Amino acid sequence: MTDVASILTADSLEFLERYLNNAAPTGYESSGQKLWMDYLRPYVDTFITDAYGTAVGVINPDAEYKVVIEGHADEIGWYVNFVTDNGLIYVMRNGGSDHQIATSKAVHIHTQDGPVTGVFGWPAIHTRNPAKEKTPTKDNIFVDVGADSKEEVHAMGIYPGCVITYPDEFMTLAGDKFVCRAVDNRIGGFMIAEVARLMHEAGERPDFGLYIVNSVQEEVGLKGAQMIADRIKPDVAIITDVTHDTTTPMIEQTTHGRTKIGDGPVIAFAPSVQNKLREHLIAVAEQHDIPFQRQARSPATGTDTDAFAYSNGGVPSALIALALRYMHTTVEMVQRRDVENVIRLIHETVKSIKTGQTFSYFD
């Protein structure tokens, strides 16, 4: 078995921290995409991009047979929706932002002149009536930037449509847990970039075209993947995203299944996951002693797998997920060895694919 501790280098970990700390919410991914492309540049032949910001590093771009490995680049956030006369800001979701974790969090409101700091306010416990206590909802949470009027808010460059993110930055726990906002799913872009790095450093070059795809706007309906799938027209697509660690409190395993950080990559079973390709992934994992978990996801995976699978008349697609705790919070947590094993599984799978391989459903 490969020593998984040797896969991530000091340079790759430095990039991961910088990449996660950078704000790149849905619809505003360009700064993160530039960081990602700069890191990937030595390991690919060329890049393609599209009008909405999806970035693709390509190895062997002239090949007819095309294999995609993909993650998504965006993070959840909020929009400024309404400014009151006394300068408080009500918000609208940008992606699946959780209103229950918002109160008392600091935020950055992104303006044309740079970020403005604010906080999600909430009435003090002393002022609330326990018999009639309200809980946070998307309609009653608000941001306070210290202004006294709507005019003062506007003078800061803040208007409806400004995007809002959390500033929480990367940290490690217990030496082997990575914690940050935006792990979902900037960690996917990191992992596919690491596959390209490993191939480059090993002198491995596929005879097919390998498209390392970092899609935008997954958090609002798989939009970036839909666009880029139509442009690339791949023969095979291997997607990576996160899934839930269901062993933490208040998650019903009879409903959500059992997946756990530290137990390996999670291979999905779903209508959009092509059976032959999925079985190929399992065979690769078993051949290389890569631990893995199984997860049923129906009727849809809710990931870019669905977009690639149903594009271009049908593309054999599969999902390798990374177990994660506390999804869509500012403390999303993954296990380092899972990250390394997802990288290994994608890497070994790419090496195992043969040009022209159809993964025929009827073989």
The answer to whether 241 and 191 are in contact (CB under 8 A) is no
At 18, which helix (H) or strand (E)? helix 10-21
Question: What is the torsion angle, in degrees rounded to the nearest 10, for the CA atoms of residue 157, residue 219, residue 34 and residue 61?
Answer: -150
State how far the Cα of 130 lies from the Cα of 112, in Å rounded to an integer: 42
241 annotated to a ligand binding site: yes
State how far the Cα of 275 lies from the Cα of 272, in Å rounded to an integer: 9
Longest CA–CA separation in the chain, Å: 69
State how far the Cα of 47 lies from the Cα of 54, in Å rounded to an integer: 10
| Both tokens assigned to 52 | 């909405």
72 annotated to a ligand binding site: yes
Catalytic residue among 70, 218, 340, 348: 218
219 annotated to a ligand binding site: yes
Active site annotation includes 75: no
CA atoms within 13 A of residue 118's CA, in its CB half-sphere: 32
What residues are labeled active site?
Answer: 218
Q: Which residues are annotated as a binding site for Zn(2+)?
A: 72, 184, 219, 241, 328
